[in-house]
Chains A and B, each alone.
Chain A
Protein backbone atom coordinates (compact mmCIF):
# COMPACT_ATOMS: atom_id res chain seq x y z
CA UNK A 1 0.00 0.00 0.00
CA UNK A 2 1.30 3.41 -0.92
CA UNK A 3 1.25 5.69 2.07
CA UNK A 4 1.16 9.46 2.21
CA UNK A 5 4.99 9.33 2.51
CA UNK A 6 5.24 8.08 -1.03
CA UNK A 7 3.74 11.35 -2.30
CA UNK A 8 6.44 13.02 -4.36
CA UNK A 9 6.99 16.74 -4.66
CA UNK A 10 6.93 17.82 -8.26
CA UNK A 11 7.68 21.01 -10.13
CA UNK A 12 5.64 23.53 -12.08
CA UNK A 13 1.95 22.87 -12.41
CA UNK A 14 2.31 19.46 -10.83
CA UNK A 15 2.11 19.99 -7.12
CA UNK A 16 2.62 16.37 -6.17
CA UNK A 17 2.09 12.84 -7.39
CA UNK A 18 1.59 9.42 -5.93
CA UNK A 19 1.34 5.90 -7.32
CA UNK A 20 -1.22 3.46 -5.98
CA UNK A 21 -0.72 0.18 -7.79
CA UNK A 22 -1.47 0.92 -11.43
CA UNK A 23 -3.08 4.28 -10.64
CA UNK A 24 -1.14 7.54 -10.92
CA UNK A 25 -2.59 10.33 -8.81
CA UNK A 26 -1.42 13.83 -9.70
CA UNK A 27 -2.33 17.07 -8.01
CA UNK A 28 -2.26 20.08 -10.34
CA UNK A 29 -1.88 23.61 -9.06
CA UNK A 30 -1.91 27.12 -10.48
CA UNK A 31 -3.21 28.21 -13.86
CA UNK A 32 -3.37 25.88 -16.84
CA UNK A 33 -3.08 28.24 -19.80
CA UNK A 34 -1.00 28.06 -23.00
CA UNK A 35 2.08 29.33 -21.16
CA UNK A 36 2.04 26.50 -18.61
CA UNK A 37 0.50 23.81 -20.82
CA UNK A 38 3.85 22.74 -22.31
CA UNK A 39 5.43 22.16 -18.91
CA UNK A 40 2.36 20.36 -17.59
CA UNK A 41 2.28 18.10 -20.65
CA UNK A 42 5.99 17.35 -20.35
CA UNK A 43 5.91 16.50 -16.64
CA UNK A 44 2.79 14.36 -16.98
CA UNK A 45 4.23 12.45 -19.90
CA UNK A 46 7.46 11.83 -18.03
CA UNK A 47 5.45 10.23 -15.23
CA UNK A 48 3.41 8.26 -17.76
CA UNK A 49 6.64 6.83 -19.22
CA UNK A 50 6.19 4.30 -16.41
CA UNK A 51 4.18 1.76 -18.38
CA UNK A 52 2.90 0.00 -15.25
CA UNK A 53 0.53 2.94 -14.90
CA UNK A 54 -2.89 2.22 -16.36
CA UNK A 55 -5.14 4.82 -14.77
CA UNK A 56 -4.73 8.54 -14.13
CA UNK A 57 -6.44 10.61 -11.46
CA UNK A 58 -6.03 14.39 -11.75
CA UNK A 59 -6.76 16.18 -8.50
CA UNK A 60 -7.80 19.70 -9.55
CA UNK A 61 -8.37 21.09 -6.07
CA UNK A 62 -5.65 23.72 -6.49
CA UNK A 63 -6.18 24.42 -10.16
CA UNK A 64 -7.37 28.02 -10.12
CA UNK A 65 -7.70 28.68 -13.81
CA UNK A 66 -7.89 26.80 -17.06
CA UNK A 67 -8.73 27.69 -20.65
CA UNK A 68 -8.87 25.74 -23.91
CA UNK A 69 -5.12 25.07 -23.71
CA UNK A 70 -5.93 22.86 -20.73
CA UNK A 71 -8.56 21.01 -22.73
CA UNK A 72 -5.83 20.02 -25.20
CA UNK A 73 -3.57 18.79 -22.39
CA UNK A 74 -6.36 16.64 -20.91
CA UNK A 75 -7.34 15.13 -24.26
CA UNK A 76 -3.69 14.27 -25.03
CA UNK A 77 -3.20 12.42 -21.71
CA UNK A 78 -6.56 10.68 -22.14
CA UNK A 79 -5.34 9.24 -25.45
CA UNK A 80 -2.25 7.77 -23.75
CA UNK A 81 -4.28 6.19 -20.94
CA UNK A 82 -6.98 4.93 -23.28
CA UNK A 83 -4.31 3.06 -25.23
CA UNK A 84 -3.48 1.20 -22.02
CA UNK A 85 -7.12 0.32 -21.45
CA UNK A 86 -7.32 2.60 -18.43
CA UNK A 87 -9.42 5.57 -17.41
CA UNK A 88 -8.77 9.20 -16.54
CA UNK A 89 -10.59 10.72 -13.58
CA UNK A 90 -10.76 14.34 -12.42
CA UNK A 91 -11.59 15.34 -8.86
CA UNK A 92 -12.23 18.43 -6.71
CA UNK A 93 -13.02 20.77 -9.60
CA UNK A 94 -13.56 24.46 -8.82
CA UNK A 95 -16.72 25.93 -10.39
CA UNK A 96 -14.87 27.69 -13.22
CA UNK A 97 -12.82 24.59 -14.11
CA UNK A 98 -15.99 22.52 -14.00
CA UNK A 99 -17.66 24.96 -16.41
CA UNK A 100 -14.84 24.58 -18.96
CA UNK A 101 -14.80 20.78 -18.68
CA UNK A 102 -18.57 20.66 -19.12
CA UNK A 103 -18.68 23.08 -22.05
CA UNK A 104 -15.92 21.25 -23.92
CA UNK A 105 -17.62 17.89 -23.59
CA UNK A 106 -14.64 16.49 -21.69
CA UNK A 107 -16.91 14.65 -19.26
CA UNK A 108 -17.62 12.24 -22.10
CA UNK A 109 -14.06 10.96 -21.69
CA UNK A 110 -13.02 12.04 -18.18
CA UNK A 111 -14.82 10.64 -15.14
CA UNK A 112 -15.57 13.29 -12.52
CA UNK A 113 -15.45 12.49 -8.79
CA UNK A 114 -15.73 14.67 -5.69
CA UNK A 115 -12.58 13.27 -4.10
CA UNK A 116 -9.49 11.25 -4.98
CA UNK A 117 -10.52 8.34 -2.77
CA UNK A 118 -13.89 8.14 -4.51
CA UNK A 119 -12.06 8.07 -7.85
CA UNK A 120 -9.77 5.27 -6.61
CA UNK A 121 -12.84 3.30 -5.45
CA UNK A 122 -14.53 3.97 -8.77
CA UNK A 123 -11.58 2.59 -10.74
CA UNK A 124 -11.23 -0.46 -8.48
CA UNK A 125 -14.95 -1.21 -8.72
CA UNK A 126 -14.77 -1.28 -12.51
CA UNK A 127 -11.77 -3.58 -12.43
CA UNK A 128 -13.53 -6.18 -10.28
Chain B
Protein backbone atom coordinates (compact mmCIF):
# COMPACT_ATOMS: atom_id res chain seq x y z
CA UNK B 1 0.00 0.00 0.00
CA UNK B 2 1.24 3.45 -0.86
CA UNK B 3 1.76 6.02 1.89
CA UNK B 4 -0.24 9.17 1.19
CA UNK B 5 1.17 11.27 3.97
CA UNK B 6 3.31 10.96 7.05
CA UNK B 7 4.04 12.95 10.20
CA UNK B 8 6.05 12.79 13.38
CA UNK B 9 5.40 14.52 16.71
CA UNK B 10 7.75 14.77 19.66
CA UNK B 11 6.68 16.32 22.93
CA UNK B 12 7.47 16.26 26.64
CA UNK B 13 5.57 13.79 28.79
CA UNK B 14 3.47 16.49 30.45
CA UNK B 15 -0.22 15.83 31.00
CA UNK B 16 -1.06 19.12 29.24
CA UNK B 17 0.17 17.47 26.04
CA UNK B 18 -2.47 14.71 26.13
CA UNK B 19 -5.04 17.04 24.57
CA UNK B 20 -2.45 18.46 22.17
CA UNK B 21 -1.45 14.98 20.96
CA UNK B 22 -4.97 13.66 20.34
CA UNK B 23 -6.11 16.86 18.62
CA UNK B 24 -2.98 16.95 16.42
CA UNK B 25 -3.40 13.32 15.31
CA UNK B 26 -7.13 13.86 14.70
CA UNK B 27 -6.37 16.92 12.57
CA UNK B 28 -3.88 14.86 10.55
CA UNK B 29 -6.37 11.96 10.22
CA UNK B 30 -9.09 14.28 8.95
CA UNK B 31 -7.29 14.29 5.57
CA UNK B 32 -8.91 10.86 5.08
CA UNK B 33 -12.34 12.40 5.60
CA UNK B 34 -13.38 10.13 8.48
CA UNK B 35 -16.80 10.25 10.12
CA UNK B 36 -17.14 12.09 13.42
CA UNK B 37 -17.32 8.75 15.17
CA UNK B 38 -14.12 7.49 13.54
CA UNK B 39 -12.39 10.71 14.50
CA UNK B 40 -13.56 10.42 18.12
CA UNK B 41 -12.31 6.80 18.18
CA UNK B 42 -8.86 7.87 16.96
CA UNK B 43 -8.70 10.74 19.46
CA UNK B 44 -9.60 8.47 22.35
CA UNK B 45 -7.14 5.72 21.41
CA UNK B 46 -4.30 8.25 21.04
CA UNK B 47 -5.24 9.77 24.39
CA UNK B 48 -5.02 6.33 26.03
CA UNK B 49 -1.62 5.48 24.58
CA UNK B 50 -0.14 8.91 25.31
CA UNK B 51 -1.51 8.93 28.88
CA UNK B 52 0.02 5.50 29.46
CA UNK B 53 3.41 6.71 28.19
CA UNK B 54 3.21 9.66 30.58
CA UNK B 55 1.97 7.96 33.75
CA UNK B 56 3.32 4.42 33.39
CA UNK B 57 6.27 4.79 31.03
CA UNK B 58 7.86 7.85 32.59
CA UNK B 59 6.11 8.13 35.97
CA UNK B 60 6.56 11.80 36.82
CA UNK B 61 9.79 12.63 34.99
CA UNK B 62 9.60 14.77 31.86
CA UNK B 63 10.89 12.83 28.89
CA UNK B 64 10.09 12.60 25.21
CA UNK B 65 7.00 10.90 23.79
CA UNK B 66 7.01 10.26 20.05
CA UNK B 67 4.07 9.79 17.71
CA UNK B 68 4.53 8.61 14.14
CA UNK B 69 1.47 8.58 11.91
CA UNK B 70 1.03 7.44 8.34
CA UNK B 71 -1.97 7.87 6.11
CA UNK B 72 -2.86 5.27 3.48
CA UNK B 73 -5.85 5.26 1.09
CA UNK B 74 -8.19 3.71 3.61
CA UNK B 75 -6.46 3.75 6.97
CA UNK B 76 -4.25 5.57 9.44
CA UNK B 77 -1.33 3.83 11.12
CA UNK B 78 -0.25 5.42 14.41
CA UNK B 79 2.72 4.62 16.66
CA UNK B 80 3.04 6.00 20.18
CA UNK B 81 6.53 5.46 21.59
CA UNK B 82 8.16 6.05 24.97
CA UNK B 83 11.63 5.08 26.20
CA UNK B 84 10.43 4.60 29.76
CA UNK B 85 10.19 1.67 32.07
CA UNK B 86 8.52 -0.81 29.72
CA UNK B 87 6.00 -3.59 30.37
CA UNK B 88 7.07 -6.96 31.80
CA UNK B 89 4.03 -8.94 30.79
CA UNK B 90 2.23 -7.37 27.83
CA UNK B 91 -0.49 -10.02 27.74
CA UNK B 92 -1.39 -9.34 31.36
CA UNK B 93 -1.25 -5.56 30.85
CA UNK B 94 -3.76 -5.84 27.98
CA UNK B 95 -6.34 -7.68 30.09
CA UNK B 96 -9.45 -5.61 30.82
CA UNK B 97 -9.36 -4.16 34.36
CA UNK B 98 -5.66 -4.88 34.86
CA UNK B 99 -3.84 -1.88 36.29
CA UNK B 100 -0.54 -1.57 38.11
CA UNK B 101 -1.74 1.70 39.68
CA UNK B 102 -5.11 1.07 41.35
CA UNK B 103 -4.16 3.60 44.05
CA UNK B 104 -4.40 6.34 41.40
CA UNK B 105 -7.99 5.39 40.60
CA UNK B 106 -6.97 3.92 37.25
CA UNK B 107 -9.56 1.51 35.91
CA UNK B 108 -7.31 -0.69 33.78
CA UNK B 109 -9.46 -0.08 30.72
CA UNK B 110 -6.98 1.84 28.55
CA UNK B 111 -5.87 -1.06 26.34
CA UNK B 112 -9.45 -2.32 26.08
CA UNK B 113 -10.52 1.11 24.82
CA UNK B 114 -7.69 1.12 22.24
CA UNK B 115 -8.58 -2.40 21.07
CA UNK B 116 -12.27 -1.61 20.79
CA UNK B 117 -11.90 1.73 19.03
CA UNK B 118 -9.10 0.78 16.63
CA UNK B 119 -8.96 -2.11 14.14
CA UNK B 120 -5.53 -3.36 15.13
CA UNK B 121 -3.36 -2.78 18.21
CA UNK B 122 0.19 -4.14 18.53
CA UNK B 123 2.26 -3.60 21.66
CA UNK B 124 6.01 -4.11 21.74
CA UNK B 125 7.79 -3.46 24.98
CA UNK B 126 10.87 -4.38 26.95
CA UNK B 127 11.47 -3.66 30.64
CA UNK B 128 13.85 -0.74 31.07
CA UNK B 129 13.73 0.12 27.38
CA UNK B 130 10.29 1.42 26.62
CA UNK B 131 7.02 0.72 24.88
CA UNK B 132 5.67 1.08 21.38
CA UNK B 133 1.94 0.90 20.74
CA UNK B 134 0.99 0.63 17.08
CA UNK B 135 -2.64 1.15 16.15
CA UNK B 136 -4.41 0.98 12.80
CA UNK B 137 -7.84 2.40 12.06
CA UNK B 138 -9.66 1.79 8.78
CA UNK B 139 -11.72 4.68 7.51
CA UNK B 140 -15.06 3.76 5.94
CA UNK B 141 -14.87 3.58 2.13
CA UNK B 142 -17.91 5.78 1.39
CA UNK B 143 -16.04 8.71 2.88
CA UNK B 144 -12.84 8.21 0.93
CA UNK B 145 -14.38 7.02 -2.36
CA UNK B 146 -14.73 10.43 -3.98
CA UNK B 147 -11.15 11.26 -3.17
CA UNK B 148 -9.84 7.96 -4.46
CA UNK B 149 -11.24 7.97 -8.00
In angstroms, Cα B112 to Cα A104, docked, is 8
Min C-beta distance of A52 to chain B, whole Å: 25
| B residues near A68, Cβ cutoff 8 Å | 48, 51, 106-110, 113
**SS class of chain B's interface: helix, strand, loop or mixed?**
helix
In the complex, what distance in Å separates the CA atom of A67 from the CA atom of B47?
Answer: 7
Count of A-B residue pairs with CB < 8 Å: 63
- Is the pair B44, A76 in contact by a Cβ cutoff of 8 Å? no
Interface size classification for chain B = 20 to 34
Which of A75, A99, A103, A104 lies in contact with B105, CB distance below 8 A? A75
A31 at the interface (CB under 8 A from B): yes
Q: Determine if B54 is an interface residue (Cβ-Cβ < 8 Å).
A: yes
Does A73 lie within 8 Å of B40, measured CB to CB? no
Contact A96:B48 (CB < 8 A) given known A34-B54, A41-B105, A72-B107: no
| A-contacting residues, B68-123, CB 8 Å | 104-110, 112-113, 116
Select B18's contact among A34, A99, A100, beta carbons within 8 Å. A34
Q: Is A35 an interface residue (CB 8 A)?
A: yes
Quick one: given A68-B48, A96-B44, are A35 and B109 in contact (CB under 8 Å)? Answer: no
Is there contact, CB below 8 Å, between A76 and B110? Answer: no
Instruction: Tell me, in angstroms, the Cα distance from A95 to B44 when the chains sit together.
Output: 13
**Taking the complex as formed, is A65 at the interface, i.e. its CB lies under 8 A from any CB of chain B?**
yes
Beyond A34-B51, A67-B51, is A100–B107 a contact (Cβ under 8 Å)? no
Query: Is the C-beta of A8 less than 8 angstroms from some C-beta in chain B?
Result: no
In B22-52, the 8 Å CB interface with A consists of 37, 40, 43-44, 47-48, 51
**CB atoms of A104 and B107 under 8 A apart:** yes
Contact residue among A34, A72, A75, A96 (Cβ-Cβ distance under 8 Å from B37): A96
13 A–B contacts, CB within 8 A, in A order: A34-B15, A34-B18, A34-B54, A35-B19, A41-B105, A65-B44, A65-B47, A68-B51, A68-B109, A69-B106, A71-B107, A75-B107, A104-B112
Residues of B in contact with A (beta carbons under 8 Å apart): 15-16, 18-19, 37, 40, 43-44, 47-48, 51, 54-55, 104-110, 112-113, 116
